[in-house]
């Protein structure tokens, strides 16, 4: 069975531009098993990118809904 260690998100506002932020994702996971680490890393990177794309889209939708 895989394990997840400590992780989370950090979101920081940009002091110069209210429409920009820095998003930091700390991920500590070990899927275990016999999968090559490079394959696991590629898959996790793609999943993280998809998550961020969907998050960005949702934030835009919320901004439009509240305008």
Q: What is the pTM for the complete model shown?
A: 0.76
Q: How far apart are the first and last CA of the chain?
A: 46
- As a whole number, the mean pLDDT across the chain is 93
Percent of the chain scoring above 90 in pLDDT: 78
Pairwise CA distance, residues 20 & 40, whole Å? 30
Domain borders along the chain are 3-66
Tens-place pLDDT, residues 31-54: 888 999 999 999 999 999 999 999
């Amino acid at each position: 069975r895989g394990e997840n260690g400590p992780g989370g998100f950090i979101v920081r506002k940009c002091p110069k531009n209210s429409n920009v932020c820095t998003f930091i994702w700390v991920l500590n996971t070990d899927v275990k098993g016999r999968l090559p680490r490079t394959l696991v890393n590629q898959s996790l990177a793609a999943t993280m990118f998809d998550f961020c794309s969907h998050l960005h889209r949702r934030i835009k939708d919320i901004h439009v809904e509240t305008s």
